[in-house]
Amino acid sequence: MKTTDEVALKLSEWMSEKVLEAARVEKKAKLTELFRSNYDYWNQTFFPLIRGQGSAHRQLAEFLKAVGYGQVDESYVGTLMNRIKKERETKGSVKSSSPTPKVQARPGVVAVVTPPVAQEEGSSPLDGMDFVAVKKASQEAVSWTEELEGYWGRFMAQADTLGWNQVNKLNIMSWSDYGKNVSPNLRFAFINLHNARKKFVGEQ
């Protein structure tokens, strides 16, 4: 469980790196660009960090207001996140060569549109996950914890990235097939995590 101080520190680090560097750019354009360049970071690091502390979009909106974006609210955050997601689905396999992919819009540059792909390489919400540890934590759980909710959120975020519907998100065979290209332990992690969720939370 992340403490309030840890959350504040992470937000402060992000603010210093991503907001202040663009202070001279016109607000509306800067805001859209911030969402484009930080989409992966927010989904993979920021949202999991604040999970269990209320709506992630609302928390991000409040933080952006605190650093000068007065027009931002929870609904607008959701709108921009969905817009960036659709942009990426449309652009498909157009990827950055950087180890940490960033979408950087530049005036006059026309994006090459290619057919959508299921997953952007190097940009998985499951990156770095210890599937053996997930399996063990799920098997030994006596209640549904924030740790398990964090794992579950990352699996569901990956399913969204893959464009799966609700049935596929909960389908063990879908995760088994996907796991063949990721890790042999992925399917067992999901099976046990899913079983724990059904036991303590109930089916979605």
Compute the distance between CA of residue 28 and CA of residue 18 in angstroms, rounded to an integer: 15
pLDDT above 70 covers a percentage of the chain that reads 66
pLDDT per residue as tens digits for the range 116-170: 333 344 457 888 899 999 999 999 999 988 889 889 889 988 888 888 988 888 8
What integer pLDDT is reported at residue 86 of this predicted model?
Answer: 84
Query: Please, are residues 35 and 84 in contact by the beta-carbon 8 Å criterion?
Result: yes
Compute the distance between CA of residue 167 and CA of residue 32 in angstroms, rounded to an integer: 32
Of 19-23, 152-156, 180-184, the poorest mean pLDDT is in: 19-23
3-state SS string for the chain:
CCCHHHHHHHHHHHHHHHHHHHCCCCHHHHHHHHHHHHHHHHHHHHHHHHCCCCCHHHHHHHHHHHCCCCCCCHHHHHHHHHHHHHHHHHHCCCCCCCCCCCCCCCCCCCCCCCCCCCCCCCCCCCCCCCHHHHHHHHHHCCCCCHHHHHHHHHHHHHHHHHCCCHHHHCCHHHHHHHHCCCCCCHHHHHHHHHHHHHHHCCCC
What integer pLDDT is reported at residue 11 of this predicted model?
Answer: 66
Query: Which range scores top for mean pLDDT: 23-32, 48-57, 127-136?
Result: 127-136
Residue of 49, 44, 42 lying closest to 1 (CA atoms): 49
What integer pLDDT is reported at residue 93 of this predicted model?
Answer: 44
What integer pLDDT is reported at residue 204 of this predicted model?
Answer: 53
- Domain residue extents for the chain: 4-91, 131-200
Query: Please, are residues 8 and 49 in contact by the beta-carbon 8 Å criterion?
Result: no
What integer pLDDT is reported at residue 23 of this predicted model?
Answer: 47
Classified as helix, coil or strand, 11 is helix
Phi-psi domain of 114 (left: phi exceeds 0; alpha: psi -120 through 50; beta: other) = beta
- How big is the CA angle at 190 (ends 80 and 196), to the nearest 5 degrees? 100
C-alpha atoms less than 13 angstroms from C-alpha of 141 in its C-beta half-sphere: 24
What integer pLDDT is reported at residue 139 of this predicted model?
Answer: 94
The residue with greater pLDDT, 56 or 142, is: 142
Classified as helix, coil or strand, 117 is coil
pLDDT above 90 covers a percentage of the chain that reads 15
Q: pTM for this one?
A: 0.43
What integer pLDDT is reported at residue 128 of this predicted model?
Answer: 86
